[in-house]
Each structure stands twice: as C-alpha cells, then as structure tokens.
Chain A
C-alpha cells in the first residue's frame, strides 16, 4: 500500500530509505557516534541502532550546538541519514544538512510533518522523500 504525506520543505533534496522513527528528541553530539552512525546515548530508545542511510524521523533536535558538525562528519564518512523528518526543525539541526550541501555538495533533505501524519510513520517502512515537492511517500 502506498501513502502520500504532504509536509513542509525545510532543506531541499530527494532521497529514499528505510524509516527509523522515535518519539524522543535527539542530540547528535552525545547522541550519535560520528564514525558509525549508531545512536550511542544509553537513555535513548534507539540506543545501539544505526541511522545511516535511513529516513530518520524524530520530533525535534535537542542539546549541543555541535549537532551540525556531527551531521557534517556523518556526511563526510558516508554514515549520514538519507533524510530527516521532524515535527519542528530547529536552526542547529537544519545547519547540518545545509552546510553538508554547501561544503560537500551532498544532500540530506529535511521535511516537517504535522503530528497526525508524523504518527503514521513506522520503523521499517520504505519511504521516498521529495522535499522540494514537500511530499513523503510511504511504501509498506
């Protein structure tokens, strides 16, 4: 079954990947290992799981301003998420994909969804994201 969700573009780009979703905010610094793309905050429900190449859905960022640098490094080593989906994207989080595009020429599209649509995301779904058209397509 296919489901098209309309959202809002934050950072442009297109990507596809397996969805990994959490209801908890994430601080990339102190939360994600920049070498492997694994969540390394023991208090986080995604602890031990990899976000590399996946469509990472979490409500909003938190914590350190080094978040953007960790995202740039994940891009550099090829462990970045394919795309990011939020309820709200704060400036520190947006800066990571933005600088990745300007500096390494690589895209990590970022989109926001309304809470109702965000709630339809499930880990393991396959998603195609077209941030320019503000559309997220879920293919179960």
Chain B
C-alpha cells in the first residue's frame, strides 16, 4: 500500500504510540482488502463506547495512556447505563463503574458525549458523498443508504483507531464503483394500505438483510413519502439480519433515484420477490413470546426521535400504563432535551412511562428486574432480544405496543399482510 511520508512517520512511532498502533491496525485492514492508499475521513462515530466486555475497557484505557486523542469530530454510541438516572434503572455498582471507566477514557480522548446509536437524528450529520468512518451497524446502513455519505462497516476498536488518526484505508463502500446494487428485490402484492401500518418497514428491512447477506440490494416499491423514522427502523433491521452496510430504495434513497442509477447501468445479478406471506413469516419468526404475558415494553431501538415521542403521547392519550407492565423509552440526551422542553416528558411521566438516555433496550440490567417477556416496535431489537437479554420478545407497531402496555397483556392489531 502506498503511504505518505507523514503516514510513514506515524508508523515509525514519531507521533506517539497510540497513533502508531491505530494506524498499524488500519494499514493492515487496508492490506487485507486491497486498498492502495489511506484517505482522510471528516468524522467518526465510535461504537466501542458501550460496556460489553473487559477487553473494550482495556483497549480504550491503553489508547488514552498512550496519548490517543481524536483527530476529527467524533460522536459516541450508547452506553450500557443511563448516566443520570442509573439508580432508577437499577444498574449494579459494577456495571456503573465499568461504564464510567469507558466514559472517562472516551471523553479524555476528546469524543463528544452524544451517547446515541442514532447520531444522524441530532447534531453530527454527514453530507451526501462525505467520507466518514462510522461504527454501529444501524447508523452505518442509515448513513450510507439514506444520507448517501460513505463509510465501510467499521467494527468496534477500528472505529477508535480511525478517530485517533482521522484516516482509513480507501476501499469498499468509500469507492463509487463498490456502491453498485447487485440484487433487485421486488415487492409482489405489497402496496398501498399495507404501508399504513409502519411495522412493515422494519420487516421489509429484515427480509432485505436476509436476502442480501453481504451484497448490496436495491428494493423497488417503497413509497416515496416514507418517513425518516421508518427508514431508521428499516436500516437497523437490515443491518441486523445481514451484513448490510448499504442498500438502495429505488425512487427514495439518493443514489437510487432511478433503477439505472443504483445498478450503474448494469443488469441485476439476481431478482428476488418479497410477498405478503414472506412479511408475515418474518414477523412470526421474530416472535419468541408465547401467550399474552408481557413485563416490559421497550422502545427506542435505534433511539427514539422527537416525532416518535409526539406520536407515542398521542396514542397514549392520557391513559395510564397497566401496573403489571414497565414501559421504557430510550433516547439520546439531545432528543431528551427537546422532549423535556416541549412538555411531552410530563405527559409520558403521568402515564407511567419512563424515559432513559444514553442506554439501550438491549442493555437493560435484567438481573435487577424480573422481566420475562418484552415487547418492541423494533425488528432489530426483536432479532437480538433473546440472545442479549434472555427475554422472550413480541413485535408490533407503536400502537400495538401502547395498547399492550395499557391493557397489561399482548394486543396485536391485524396488519393487512396477515
């Protein structure tokens, strides 16, 4: 790989040990994928900020000790805890301390304490075509597909390296020719009123991820007026069921205003149809809950937006959550400020809904709560729920989640695809 004199000096250790190690890892990564040179990125989103395992703390602390500081604007993904309301959230002292260790390390490096998996719905939003390095699979898919910014699927720790040197190897989705769609997905018998139930979007994303695997798929038939929160749910679901860093929605996403655009003039290598039956099957496969019992309704995977909060308050409509159900919403500190400032927080509080920041429904301290069954409107959350939390999961739209919480037992509307 060609390296500039400046990059060679970094690899020689003349700019400190943290930058040396960071660039060494990135150069090796580039060698693996045939990159010919390194390139600058304008911003980084670090996924490694959530405490999962001790290796994550060891890595962050060592980088700080070695003098690692971020070289470009850098946002942080979620934490495992809510740093403000951790007592109410019943996190253990041990988990709090480990999360604090990560917090100290990343703030010392100079990252912004955004603590969100949806950096695209607050301040740090890349432009179309901007070269960035993001971790967090849902954010990667959203940035590439919906915004048209350019990032590879950067794994944990590599994102930290990219932040420290502000550079990544030039390969993969950074290059126009690698952003071409290979698979065309057509919707068969899915249109019109089926899209009125917005839980169809994450299900279609989930199916796209399964069909695409690690290829780039283009889907035809998504309504042009799809709202941004549905695209968020779609991206997250696709990136959880496949290795999806980029997808195209023909007529909707910026690099796919026409079919010719996203296939770059070529013919699809494969054409696949999704039927209403497949949507129903995907929905059934996400459910592990049996019966009507529900203990927790958890929303905000990815983090809840301000518009979703408004919709939630409207659906609750002054009713109270059933005493046998815990209802939590997870969001960023930024959106929390808007919700508090708008009066919505008081409305939700009166209904018995708790709002947490920084954390994630998949990181709930299950040891402290006797939950067995969770309901969510996120296909990503539903997909990972059992393996991450040990809880069985039910999936529905926002209205299903609210009616379930108010009545204390699982309620499902009847979507048009069933």
**A and B pair up:** yes
B33: A residues at CB distance < 8 A: 91, 94
Which one of A69, A75, A92 lies within 8 Å of B243 (CB-CB)?
Answer: A92
Interface readout for B98-140 with A: 1 if CB under 8 Å, 0 if not? 0000000000000000000000000000000000000111001
Task: Note all chain A residues with C-beta closer than 8 A to B155.
Answer: 65-69, 91-96
Select the residue from A10, A25, A93 with max chain B CB neighbours within 10 A: A25
Verify B137–A94 contact, CB threshold 8 A: no
Most buried by B among A30, A65, A94, A102: A65
Contacts of B197 in A (CB 8 A): none
> Is the CB–CB distance between A30 and B384 below 8 Å?
yes
B52 adjacent to chain A (CB < 8 Å)? yes
Instruction: Say yes or no: A76-B58 contact (C-beta < 8 A), given A70-B52, A90-B214, A94-B32.
Output: yes
Stretch of B156-164, B182-190, B246-254, B296-304 contacting A (4+ beta carbons < 8 Å): B156-164
Task: Find out whether the CB atom of B159 lies under 8 angstroms from the CB atom of A91.
Answer: no
Give how many B residues have a beta carbon under 8 Å from the other chain's beta carbons. Answer: 47
* A27 to B209 Cα, complex, angstroms: 13
Roughly how many angstroms separate A75 CA and B54 CA in the complex, as a whole number?
11
List which A100-130 residues lie within 8 A (CB) of chain B: 102-103
With A42-B288, A63-B239 as given contacts, are A102 and B156 in contact (CB-CB < 8 Å)?
A: no
Q: How large is the interface on A (under 10, 10 to 19, 20 to 34, 35 or more residues)?
A: 35 or more
**B157 with A95: CB separation less than 8 A:** yes
- Give the CA-CA distance A29 to B24 in the complex, in Å: 25
| Cross-chain contact A94 with B29 (CB below 8 angstroms) | yes
* CB of A34 within 8 Å of the partner chain: yes
- Assembly CA distance A29 to B117 (angstroms): 15
Q: Which chain B residues in 384-403 approach chain A with CB under 8 Å?
A: 384, 386-388
A94 to B28, CA, bound (A): 10
Contact: B157 with A72, CB < 8 Å? yes
- Residues of chain A within 8 A (CB-CB) of B54 are 73, 76
CB pair A69–B152 under 8 Å, yes or no, is no
A5 contacts the other chain (Cβ, under 8 Å)? Answer: no
Q: Would A98 and B29 count as touching, CB distance under 8 A?
A: yes
Chain B: minimal CB distance from A83 (Å): 15
A81: interface (CB < 8 Å): no
Instruction: Verify B387–A42 contact, CB threshold 8 A.
Output: yes
Determine which of A11, A29, A64, A88 lies in contact with B214 in the assembled complex, contact meaning CB atoms within 8 Å.
A88
Name B172's contact: one of A30, A41, A91, A93 (CB within 8 Å). Answer: A91
Are A42 and B242 closer than 8 Å at their CB atoms?
no
The verdict on A91 contacting B153 (CB below 8 Å), with A60-B213, A62-B242 known, is: yes
With a cutoff of 8 Å between Cβ atoms, the chain B residues found around residue A76 in the complex are 53-55, 58
Tell me whether A17 is interfacial, beta carbon within 8 Å.
no
Judge whether A37 is part of the interface by a CB distance below 8 angstroms. Answer: no
Pair B32/A98 contact, Cβ less than 8 Å? yes
Bound: A54/B137 CA distance, A: 27
Interface residue ranges of A19-76 to B (CB < 8 Å): 25, 27, 29-31, 34, 40-43, 59-70, 72-73, 75-76
Please, which residues of chain B bring their CB within 8 A of the CB of A72? 53, 55-56, 59, 156-157
Instruction: Assess the A65–B156 pair: CB atoms within 8 A.
Output: yes
Q: Which residue of B lies closest to A94 (CB)?
A: B32
In the bound complex, residues from chain B placing their C-beta under 8 Å from that of A89 are: 32
B199 is an interface residue with CB less than 8 A from chain A: no
Contacts of B156 in A (CB 8 A): 65-69, 72, 95
Identify which of B53, B241, B285, B288 contacts A69 (C-beta below 8 A). B53
Q: Is the CB of B47 within 8 A of A66?
A: yes
Beyond A65-B140, A72-B157, A98-B28, is A34–B53 a contact (Cβ under 8 Å)?
yes
Q: State in angstroms the CA–CA spacing of A66 and B21 once bound together.
A: 20
| Alpha-carbon separation in the docked complex, A90 to B59 (Å) | 22
Which chain B residues lie closer than 8 Å to A103 at the CB level? 21, 58-59, 62, 157
Q: A60-B213, A65-B153 are in contact. Are A102 and B21 (CB under 8 A)?
A: yes
> With contacts A69-B55, A98-B25 known, is A90 near B47, CB below 8 A?
no
**B62: which A residues are within 8 A, CB to CB?**
103
B387 in contact with A65 (CB, 8 Å): no
Q: Chain A contacts of B137 at CB under 8 A?
A: 63-65
Cα–Cα distance between A66 and B214 once the two chains are bound (Å): 17
Cβ of B48 within 8 Å of any chain A Cβ, yes or no, is yes
Could you tell me if A75 and B55 are in contact, using CB atoms closer than 8 angstroms? yes
Interface pairs (24), CB distance under 8 Å = A10-B32, A27-B240, A30-B240, A40-B387, A42-B387, A63-B137, A63-B242, A65-B135, A65-B154, A66-B50, A66-B156, A68-B157, A69-B48, A69-B156, A70-B53, A72-B53, A76-B53, A76-B55, A90-B153, A90-B243, A91-B33, A95-B156, A98-B28, A102-B21
Known A66-B47, A98-B28; further 18 A-B contacts with Cβ < 8 A = A25-B242, A59-B213, A64-B239, A65-B135, A65-B156, A68-B158, A69-B48, A69-B156, A69-B157, A89-B32, A90-B214, A90-B243, A92-B155, A94-B33, A95-B29, A95-B155, A98-B29, A103-B62
